[in-house]
């Protein structure tokens, strides 16, 4: 029980992922600033921002459903912590840890942060938040289809394995899935789905500060807003690590370059694309991305 709590709260769970996520957030902001010919923030700025938010007053709208409004950020944070713990452990131990339905459970948990945002926005009673929630629902429906189809590829290539540690070991013996045609196509689809799951440009229509003033987060302040931002920072670690585990032979601290490459891709997509309309995003994921994911599955079945 003590070890379980340590794994969840300290390493490789909450505390470790928070530190890693804040570092990734700083790199994102620093590179973005350089692209825009700015100096950028110091390395400790993400932590300072969280501390400043945490000491500010929490305001709750009069029309809000108070219990759900307060509970929603905790749901997202708990899910992100669980995902991070479940993905880190098999990469650290490299033994047959976990349980037979690792991938299924992680897919379920990865939807909870988005659901938490939707519930919180709907509970706030703000019409702009409701508009943001509506956009977030459409976005989830859009990217989940190609995301789940792409997940079938590593399962097929590993002959039906759903356990992360076994998938890592299979790739260690037979080579990374991303080196195959089907694996590369599925990996590319997953990168775009990851960008949408993180709520980053060009798939940030649910927040869209210039249009709906923060949308889903418009009524959140203080510690509650800090928790939402912390959840996103943790997912910026957990999601790339999940992709590396499934397609790129797993992660260790000597292969941190894998994570750096994915982080650079995230930053480049974010800084080189304008925000897309929600109908464009749905068309993109249900069209090109879903077709590519299906193609990857068919190629995997053929052994390619």
Query: Rounded to whole angstroms, how far apart are CA atoms 97 and 5?
Result: 16
- pLDDT at position 14 over 60: yes
SS3 sequence of the chain: CHHHHHHHHCCCCHHHHHHHHHHHHHHHHHHHHHHCCCCCCCCCHHHHHHHHHHCCCCCCCCCCCHHHHHHHHHHHHHHHHHHHHHHHHHHHHCCCCCCCCHHHHHHHHHHHHHHHHHHHHHHHCCHHHHHHHHHHHHHHHHHHHHHHHHHHHHHHHCCCCCCHHHHHHHHHHHCCHHHCHHHHHHHHHHHHHHHHHCCCCCCCCCCCHHHHCCHHHCCCCHHHHHHHHHHHHHHHHHHHHHHHHHHCCCCCHHHHHHHHHHHHHHHHHHHHCCCCCHHHHHHHHHHHHHHHHHHHHHHHHCCC
Q: What is the pLDDT of residue 220?
A: 95
Q: Is 44 exposed, middle or buried (0-12, 13-18, 19+ CB in 10 A)?
A: exposed
- Between the two ends of the chain, the Cα-to-Cα distance in Å is 44
Q: Read off the pLDDT band of 13 (50, 70, 90).
A: confident
Q: What is the mean pLDDT of residues 68-81?
A: 96
Rounded Cα distance, 46 and 233, in Å: 10
The CA distances from residue 117 to 44, 145, 226, 282, in Å, are: 27, 20, 13, 19
Question: How confident is the model at residue 184, as a pLDDT?
Answer: 97
Per-residue model confidence (pLDDT) at position 96: 55
Q: In 3-state terms, what secondary structure has residue 199?
A: coil
Query: What does the pLDDT read at residue 254?
Result: 79
Residue-wise pLDDT tens digits, 224-252 = 999 999 999 999 999 999 999 999 999 88
Query: Where are the chain's structural domains?
Result: 2-302
pTM: 0.94
Residue 201 pLDDT > 80, yes or no? yes
Confidence band, pLDDT 50/70/90 cuts, at residue 98: low
pLDDT at residue 111, rounded to an integer: 96
CA angle 268, 172, 179 (to 5 degrees): 45
Identify the band that residue 255 occupies on the pLDDT scale cut at 50, 70 and 90: confident
Q: Determine contact, residues 245/87, Cβ cutoff 8 Å.
A: yes
Q: What is the pLDDT of residues 121-164, one digit of tens each?
A: 999 999 999 999 999 999 999 999 999 999 999 999 999 988 99
- Average pLDDT over the chain reads 92
Retrieve residue 175's tokens: 């080579």
Closest CA to 77 of 179, 200, 224: 224
């Amino acid at each position: 029980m003590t070890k379980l709590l340590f794994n969840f709260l300290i390493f490789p769970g909450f505390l470790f992922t928070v530190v890693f996520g804040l570092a990734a957030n700083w790199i994102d902001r620093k590179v973005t600033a350089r692209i825009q010919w700015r100096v950028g923030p110091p390395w400790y700025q993400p932590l300072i921002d969280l501390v400043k938010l945490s000491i500010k007053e929490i305001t709750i709208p009069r029309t809000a459903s108070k219990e759900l409004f307060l509970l929603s950020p905790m749901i997202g944070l708990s899910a992100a912590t669980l995902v991070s713990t479940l993905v880190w452990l098999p990469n650290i131990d490299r033994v047959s840890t976990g349980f037979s339905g690792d991938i299924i459970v992680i897919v379920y948990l990865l939807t909870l942060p988005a659901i938490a945002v939707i519930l919180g926005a709907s509970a706030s009673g703000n019409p702009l938040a409701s508009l943001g929630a509506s956009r977030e629902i459409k976005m989830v429906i859009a990217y989940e289809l190609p995301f789940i189809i792409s997940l079938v590829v590593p399962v097929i290539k590993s002959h039906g394995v759903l356990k992360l540690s076994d998938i890592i070991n299979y790739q260690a013996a037979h080579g990374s899935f991303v080196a195959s045609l089907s694996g590369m196509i599925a990996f590319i689809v997953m990168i775009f789905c990851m960008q949408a799951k993180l709520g980053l440009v060009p798939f940030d229509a649910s927040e869209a500060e210039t249009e709906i003033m923060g949308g889903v987060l418009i009524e959140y302040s203080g510690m509650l807003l800090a928790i939402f931002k912390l959840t996103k920072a943790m997912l910026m670690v957990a999601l790339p690590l999940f992709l590396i585990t499934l397609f790129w032979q797993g992660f260790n601290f000597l292969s941190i370059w894998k994570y750096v490459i994915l982080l650079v891709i995230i930053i480049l997509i974010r800084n080189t694309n304008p925000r897309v309309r929600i109908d464009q995003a749905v068309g993109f994921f249900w069209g090109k991305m879903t077709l590519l994911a299906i193609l990857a599955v068919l190629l995997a079945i053929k052994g390619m």
